[in-house]
Amino acid sequence: MNLQKFKSIFTLLVLGTIGYLIHKTVFYFWVPKLYQDQFVYTLELLYLFFFFFSAFLILVLDLVKQKSINSVGYAFLLLTTLKMGIAYIFLKPILAANLEKTPIEKMSFFIIFIYFLAMETYVTIRILNNKQ
């Protein structure tokens, strides 16, 4: 079994877990529990959604790399656009809420989105730099 293929996903899992633990620690000390209980989506659900979508994106990029290395960038742009559309659908209930906790929830959502986007971009750059 080729474990090298899953190295990027393992890296994503480790970095995602580290990001989650930092995020959870910040929430523990600076965000009231009452706000956290009223969030539309839990922190765990958001991290799981973005992790699985990022893992899917990385697997697809690996498949595209095997078929045609020149199409990896286009596949990344297409899948990232799809991810943004799905993330917007997830974000709509948060945007519709106009509660005291809403700005914290919006900021949290975008931090997670950008964090995983940065990791996906890093993996894509590594794929493109390892042309064989």
Q: What is the pLDDT tens value at each position of the chain, 132 positions in all?
A: 467 678 899 999 999 999 999 999 999 999 999 888 999 999 999 999 999 999 999 999 999 999 998 999 999 999 999 999 999 999 999 999 888 888 999 999 999 999 999 999 999 999 888 865
- pTM, full prediction: 0.91
- Which residue's entry shows tokens 């900021």? 107
Paired tokens of 104: 């914290």
What span, in angstroms and rounded, lies between the C-alpha atoms of 9 and 58?
A: 7
Residue 35 pLDDT: 87
pLDDT value of residue 30: 93
For residues 38-52, one letter each, b for 16 or more C-beta atoms within 10 angstroms of the residue's C-beta and e for the rest, the string is: ebbbebeebbebbbe
Per-position b or e across 99-123, b if 16+ CB within 10 A of its CB: eebbebbeebbeebbebbbebbeeb
Estimate the share of the chain in helix, then strand, then coil, as percent rounded to the nearest 5.
85, 0, 15
Distance CA(100)–CA(34), nearest Å, equals 11
